[in-house]
Amino acid sequence: MNRELRKTIIAGNWKMNMLSSEVQAYKDELVKLVPGFKTWCDAVVCVPFVILPAALQAFDSTDVGVGAQNLSQFESGAYTGEVSVAQLTDIGTEYVIIGHSERREYYGETDESVNEKLKATLTSSMCPIVCVGETLQQRETGVTGDLVAMQVKIALNGISAEQMKNVVIAYEPVWAIGTGMTATPEDAQVVCSAIRNVLADLYDKKTADAVSILYGGSMNDKNAQELLAQPDIDGGLIGGASLKPAAFATIINAANQ
Ligand code: PGA
């Protein structure tokens, strides 16, 4: 992390877990355990669409932000089952995850659709968290750097340096997600730093230095501190461990270093 240059962000990704009726108890436990966190990081929970109203209400009186896990690239119209930027912002959604590897793997999202979703999000006040990352096979083939650079370049195609002030990138190696196989802090740092170099090439060093780059993939209460100590890892996108308020709180507190 480098708090002088950029924001530290700890984001939970609840995926397809939790019920609206469970949100209040989660919030009560979490906020008790993270007093004053706003002085060292932004904390967010990204929840299923139907849980957004309950989460927005429960976290309204707190400093914890609320985000969605996906959105449509289209403005409105005949897109059954989709949710638009306007519908998310209308209820007060502050963040949105774009291009999570599970969306890419199971729902056919591509670098191009990620780019379209990012452009749609940037017409609003929501903060996009754009996910990139390699599969195990790609890592073993030695193409991680090239692959992640390509994902970043396509996702950011047509996005200005000014717009980058509102974009967050999450490096999530696919093989580390939900597997308990965390990248070593050194390996995660190498890729996060490479992403920053890509940003410096696309824009300039000042713009690149100001972008928060999160690590995701089996980050938990035990390994968060080491990962967050890396200079180019500015936070986490946390799945499994964000479902337990105590573990998520430990990660938020680990960012206070
Ligand atoms: P995990 O998920 O922490 O359960 O590995 C991370 C993510 O998918 O964002």
Residue nearest to atom 2 of ligand 1 (CA): 239
CA distance linking residue 46 with residue 168, whole number of Å: 14
CA distance linking residue 237 with residue 187, whole number of Å: 17
Contact 245, 13 (CB under 8 A): no
Q: pLDDT tens digits for the chain (257 residues)? A: 999 999 999 999 999 999 999 999 999 999 999 999 999 999 999 999 999 999 999 999 999 999 999 999 999 999 999 999 999 999 999 999 999 999 999 999 999 999 999 999 999 999 999 999 999 999 999 999 999 999 999 999 999 999 999 999 999 999 999 888 888 999 999 999 999 999 999 999 999 999 999 999 999 999 999 999 999 999 999 999 999 999 999 999 999 99
Active site residue 172: yes
- Tokens representing 36 are 């004053």
pTM of the full structure: 0.97
Is the beta carbon of 237 within 6 A of some atom in ligand 1? yes
**Shortest-distance atom of ligand 1 to CA 242:** 3
Distance 200 CA to ligand 1 centre (A): 27
